[in-house]
A and B are shown apart, each in its own frame.
Chain A
Amino acid sequence: MRFFKTLLILVFLIPLQSAYSFTVGDIPIQDEGRIKPLDTYARNYLLAFYGKRSIPELDLSATDWLLDLILDPAKGKNQKIFNIRNPEVVSSIFLDWSTDHKYSFNQVLPGLKKQTSLLKLIDDKPANTRTVFEKQLLELSLNIMRFEEISYLKSLKLIPSEISENHEEWISPFEFILNGIKPNEYQSKILNALQQYLASRMENDFIIMKSSLVDYEVALKSIPKNLFDIDNLKKERWLNQTNLFYISLAFYILSFMILGFNWMTRITFTRRISYALLLIGFFAHSYGIILRMIIMNRPPVSTLYESVLFVSFIVLLFAIILEYFRKDGLGIFIGAIGGSVFHFIGFGYAADGDTLNMLVAVLNSNFWLATHVTTITMGYGASLVAGFIGHLFLVESLRKSNDKAYLKSIFNSMFGVTLVALFFTLFGTILGGIWADQSWGRFWGWDPKENGALLIVLWQLMIIHMRLSGLAKPVDFALGMALNNIIVALAWFGVNLLQVGLHSYGFDDGVAKNLFIFIGFELIFSLGMYYLSKNNLKNELST
């Protein structure tokens, strides 16, 4: 019941954000193929330059930093905004290594200019042969260029172009001046409002700032064609500012702490509090995903980052259902641990910049994203839950080897979740085949990503049939499902490392190391626990 009540509240919350007044962070800007709020734009570039999404030392938000830079480029260029953490890069541009790793535009530029020929050489190299130093130096030079383009408004594509069939690219105020474009009616309205806002901001005239923003919104609404949704811009800015996923993470961690307290004290009430905290975290989590779906008008999963968010959502969903039926903390344990771990993985991906990217042509299909991708990701989630229970079973079969009824109940939950997992992975895989049949002309091509999904399905089929045919005892089954986590990780992240086939659109360097650590840990933990509990069983039988 509580579930529905909170859901209801959330549903009412969604339209609320559009009631917010129009702020400077909501100003639409075209960047990387997408119309996004200025707030997102500023955050992404600040993240790329500075390594953070705001400047806490100066108490500046990303948007404030951006506007200050535009209004006073001379001052902005002396601001230490470039975060260079590689001493090789620092010395290559003739700078002294400083412990705060921060350098200003005016410090970096002369050194880079002296290295023009080196940069040209790096630029000509194929991307996969560049060393870390070369990549970072090149990135720095690109960032310097971007910074300068922002400082004189060149890359700020704020003004929608004349409405026509072929020209979708927006225009920056700089281009208006440079190319002598005569603005049309709504363009001049926008330009006027922008000018007024910037002028009043320079003089700290808050009243005019406010009124010019009202003008700005009116000007945007006067565009004859529906290019973007102002409410969505507001929603995105709100999502940026509230950091819903930090909130959900906090609640998951808190829930885990209270659960620990519950284990020590055995007070039922604390378990309920812990469950409630988990639910609150889950709502923040789900709300974040829902908002992202509304903003991009797309199903929940289309990038690797989103798959992490969604898998953890599924893990939590299963955990909550399990807890609802079992009421013994097992579900909370799985949910809190799983949720927290995946949030941290997700933050790792979010550190790359904008997480709401546009999609390449073959992925650009809401129908298949909604069916295949969502199903297979649900399969990953359910498999991981079964895997978590597998770990738990191995531990508990050591700790409480006498409590057969308790072990059996855990086993039954694991078996049930495994069947659900199989349902999603199997149909996710088949749906993927059908999508491939629709877009590439073959149902199955033994492509790494397809094979990865197939491996999960086959492993689960094998484990289930081993159990049904009596080849595997519950503890063997638990081991099987625990090791299934490795296969899920390989299929999810590992196949991208091969860089072959049609699916390799999510490559990442740092993943390999983490993946191997994870696999090593899983192998040692699962096999170790399995060995110990088998031994335990033997000793029991012999005494």
Chain B
Amino acid sequence: MLKFLYNFISSPKIFVYTVLWLMILVFFGTLAQKDIGLYASQMKYFSSYIFLFYDYIPLPGGRVTLLLMTLNLSSSLFRKTLWKIKKIGVIILHIGGLLLLLGGGVTAIFSSEGNMVIEEGGKVDYTDDYHRMELCFVNLSLQDSLEYTVFDEELLVEGNTISYDKLGLEIDIISRIKNTRIQNRITEVDSVYKGFLKQFVLLPKEPEKENTQNRPSLIFRIRGSKNNADGIYGLFLGQKDLDIFNFKNEKFFSEFRKERTYLPFSIELLDFKKVLHPGTQVAKSFSSEINLIENEIPRRVLIQMNEPLRHMGYTFFQASFIEELKSESTVLAVVKNYGRLFPYISSIIMSIGLLVHLIINLPKMIKKNNSIKA
């Protein structure tokens, strides 16, 4: 039974079928990007274990397929027929391939990414997640410090009630809008609306294909303050003038922002530079001159296209920029990936393997009239 199972899982046929399935996934996953955007399609087809075809039929996703391929490849390495000196190239090649798949697994599970937006002259010590949001309350009334209370993405679901125990408040999430249109109110409103919502309404609009281009917003009701802070509040991503409220004689403001991950060091943007090819609007290069500040000691670093900064396991890439009237901001992509060396190592191993195999076998193959089996 075990032997049968082993023979089954290590058979090249399994490989052929998983590859075939992966190709189907890749093909449709790529086409789907035109309609649902890159991120959504990646989540559905490639980063999933199982996905639903037409909402009902469960099919194996990219992860299951690649996992099966890894099992197949690693078990096939134990086949006795493989271990011959003639096949040394093939063996090396497959070990390299296995490493590549394992590296993919490590990256898929352990890597994290986000971005960092820094204005010229500004200093930032956290990264923003691309997709996850958080609701944050900041207490301004403490002496020489700020107190942050943060509610995670998982809590911010429509209909959910969060208890803010410290203040004895209840927060009902009324609505979570994916992409928001902000409109002026024309008529006077009920006093139940507080702050920004007194003058504006937050309305949903057609979400963009790429999630990062959306402006999400959150509408929630606060109960239990036992003063006039009870009411309905609205916040959107990137809001500039945040309303300040009083809860139990302490001043607070709240913010709906991208989920932050704090770093053990901070980065200060000294100068962002965009160079165009002369006489055109085509960019020749982007670069950010920064100070990497650790234990209050700054170190000057230049980050540019194809030349990232690597520090303490994090890598900072020049990803984009924001140009405003008075200031420029740089957008750095920040990645922490434990699997990043795998492709480097495995590609070296694989190229050695394939080269060895080609050197041994190729001359026999392309000559006319020979009897050696390919």
How far does the Cβ of B241 sit from chain A's closest Cβ, in whole Å? 32
B200 contacts chain A at the CB level, 8 A cutoff: no
Known contacts A361-B305, A430-B347, A416 near B285 by CB under 8 Å: no
Known contacts A170-B278, A362-B306, A405-B369, A440 near B317 by CB under 8 Å: yes
B124 contacts chain A at the CB level, 8 A cutoff: no
A281 contacts chain B at the CB level, 8 A cutoff: no
A364 CA / B23 CA spacing, docked (Å): 31
Pairs across A and B, CB under 8 Å, 18 listed: A30-B278, A33-B280, A33-B284, A358-B284, A365-B306, A412-B374, A416-B365, A419-B365, A423-B354, A426-B350, A437-B340, A438-B306, A441-B319, A447-B38, A458-B19, A458-B22, A465-B15, A500-B38
A420 contacts chain B at the CB level, 8 A cutoff: yes
Additional A-B contacts beyond A417-B366, A426-B350, A444-B104 (11; CB < 8 A): A33-B282, A325-B366, A364-B284, A365-B305, A411-B374, A416-B366, A423-B351, A435-B306, A441-B308, A443-B339, A500-B33
User: Does the CB pair A455–B362 fall under 8 Å?
Assistant: no
A368 CA / B307 CA spacing, docked (Å): 12
User: Does the CB pair B354–A426 fall under 8 Å?
Assistant: yes
A431 contacts chain B at the CB level, 8 A cutoff: yes
User: Does the CB pair A451–B26 fall under 8 Å?
Assistant: yes
A407-461 interface with B by 8 A CB criterion: 409, 411-413, 415-417, 419-420, 422-423, 426-427, 430-431, 433-435, 437-448, 451-452, 454-455, 458-459, 461
B75 contacts chain A at the CB level, 8 A cutoff: no
A348 CA / B372 CA spacing, docked (Å): 44
User: Does the CB pair B317–A431 fall under 8 Å?
Assistant: no
B211 contacts chain A at the CB level, 8 A cutoff: no
User: Does the CB pair B113–A466 fall under 8 Å?
Assistant: no
Known contacts A168-B278, A358-B277, A443-B343, A468 near B369 by CB under 8 Å: no
User: Does the CB pair B23–A325 fall under 8 Å?
Assistant: no
A498 contacts chain B at the CB level, 8 A cutoff: yes
**Contact residues in B for A325 (Cβ distance below 8 Å):** 366-368
A412 CA / B366 CA spacing, docked (Å): 6
How far does the Cβ of B102 sit from chain A's closest Cβ, in whole Å? 13
A433 CA / B339 CA spacing, docked (Å): 13
**Contact residues in B for A444 (Cβ distance below 8 Å):** 104, 107
B121 contacts chain A at the CB level, 8 A cutoff: no
B343-373 interface with A by 8 A CB criterion: 343-344, 346-347, 350-351, 354-355, 357-358, 361-362, 364-370, 372
A25 CA / B41 CA spacing, docked (Å): 52
Interface size classification for chain B: 35 or more
Closest to B283 in A: A361
**Contact residues in B for A31 (Cβ distance below 8 Å):** 279
A415 CA / B339 CA spacing, docked (Å): 34
User: Does the CB pair B368–A430 fall under 8 Å?
Assistant: no
B14-52 interface with A by 8 A CB criterion: 15-16, 19-20, 22-23, 26-27, 29-31, 33-34, 37-38, 41-42, 45-46
A416 CA / B357 CA spacing, docked (Å): 11
B117 contacts chain A at the CB level, 8 A cutoff: no
Partner of A322, one of B15, B209, B366: B366
A312-342 interface with B by 8 A CB criterion: 321-322, 325-328
Known contacts A411-B374, A442-B335, A30 near B308 by CB under 8 Å: no
Known contacts A368-B306, A440-B317, A455-B23, A413 near B12 by CB under 8 Å: no
A32 contacts chain B at the CB level, 8 A cutoff: yes
**Contact residues in B for A193 (Cβ distance below 8 Å):** none
Closest to A498 in B: B34
User: Does the CB pair B19–A461 fall under 8 Å?
Assistant: yes
B164 contacts chain A at the CB level, 8 A cutoff: no
Known contacts A437-B340, A442-B113, A462 near B34 by CB under 8 Å: no
Interface of B is mostly: helix
- Mark each residue of chain B from 1 to 22: 1 if its CB lies under 8 Å from any CB of chain A, else 0: 0000000000111011001101
How far does the Cβ of A308 sit from chain B's closest Cβ, in whole Å? 22
How far does the Cβ of B115 sit from chain A's closest Cβ, in whole Å? 9
**Contact residues in A for B15 (Cβ distance below 8 Å):** 461, 465
Interface size classification for chain A: 35 or more
User: Does the CB pair B46–A446 fall under 8 Å?
Assistant: yes
Partner of B351, one of A328, A420, A427, A455: A427
**Contact residues in A for B305 (Cβ distance below 8 Å):** 361-362, 364-365, 439
Closest to B280 in A: A33
Partner of B33, one of A169, A461, A469, A501: A501
B133 contacts chain A at the CB level, 8 A cutoff: no
Residue of A32, A417, A447, A451 with most chain B CB atoms under a 10 A cut-off: A451
A452 CA / B26 CA spacing, docked (Å): 8
**Contact residues in A for B16 (Cβ distance below 8 Å):** 462, 465-466, 469, 471
Known contacts A364-B285, A469-B11, A412 near B370 by CB under 8 Å: yes
How far does the Cβ of A497 sit from chain B's closest Cβ, in whole Å? 9
User: Does the CB pair B29–A360 fall under 8 Å?
Assistant: no
Closest to A441 in B: B335
**Contact residues in B for A479 (Cβ distance below 8 Å):** none
User: Does the CB pair A416–B374 fall under 8 Å?
Assistant: yes
How far does the Cβ of B367 sit from chain A's closest Cβ, in whole Å? 5
User: Does the CB pair B280–A443 fall under 8 Å?
Assistant: no
B202 contacts chain A at the CB level, 8 A cutoff: no
B151 contacts chain A at the CB level, 8 A cutoff: no
A415 CA / B357 CA spacing, docked (Å): 13
A441 CA / B333 CA spacing, docked (Å): 7
How far does the Cβ of A376 sit from chain B's closest Cβ, in whole Å? 13
User: Does the CB pair A465–B12 fall under 8 Å?
Assistant: yes
**Contact residues in B for A362 (Cβ distance below 8 Å):** 305-306
B214 contacts chain A at the CB level, 8 A cutoff: no
A277 contacts chain B at the CB level, 8 A cutoff: no
B315 contacts chain A at the CB level, 8 A cutoff: yes
**Contact residues in A for B374 (Cβ distance below 8 Å):** 411-412, 415-416
B100 contacts chain A at the CB level, 8 A cutoff: yes
A157 contacts chain B at the CB level, 8 A cutoff: yes
A34 contacts chain B at the CB level, 8 A cutoff: yes
A438 CA / B100 CA spacing, docked (Å): 17
A384 CA / B361 CA spacing, docked (Å): 21
- Mark each residue of chain B from 305 to 324: 1 if its CB lies under 8 Å from any CB of chain A, else 0: 11010000001010100000
**Contact residues in A for B13 (Cβ distance below 8 Å):** 469, 471
A529 contacts chain B at the CB level, 8 A cutoff: no
**Contact residues in B for A431 (Cβ distance below 8 Å):** 347
- Mark each residue of chain B from 72 to 100: 1 if its CB lies under 8 Å from any CB of chain A, else 0: 00000000000000000000000000001
A412 CA / B370 CA spacing, docked (Å): 9
B338 contacts chain A at the CB level, 8 A cutoff: no
**Contact residues in B for A322 (Cβ distance below 8 Å):** 366
Partner of A434, one of B277, B343, B369: B343
Closest to A494 in B: B30
Closest to A412 in B: B365
**Contact residues in B for A434 (Cβ distance below 8 Å):** 343-344, 347
B286 contacts chain A at the CB level, 8 A cutoff: yes
How far does the Cβ of A322 sit from chain B's closest Cβ, in whole Å? 6
How far does the Cβ of B4 sit from chain A's closest Cβ, in whole Å? 17
Closest to B46 in A: A446
User: Does the CB pair A361–B286 fall under 8 Å?
Assistant: yes
Closest to B30 in A: A451
How far does the Cβ of B351 sit from chain A's closest Cβ, in whole Å? 6
How far does the Cβ of B82 sit from chain A's closest Cβ, in whole Å? 11
User: Does the CB pair B277–A34 fall under 8 Å?
Assistant: yes
A526 CA / B209 CA spacing, docked (Å): 38
How far does the Cβ of B359 sit from chain A's closest Cβ, in whole Å? 11
**Contact residues in B for A442 (Cβ distance below 8 Å):** 113, 335, 337
A220 contacts chain B at the CB level, 8 A cutoff: no
A495 contacts chain B at the CB level, 8 A cutoff: yes
User: Does the CB pair A169–B30 fall under 8 Å?
Assistant: no
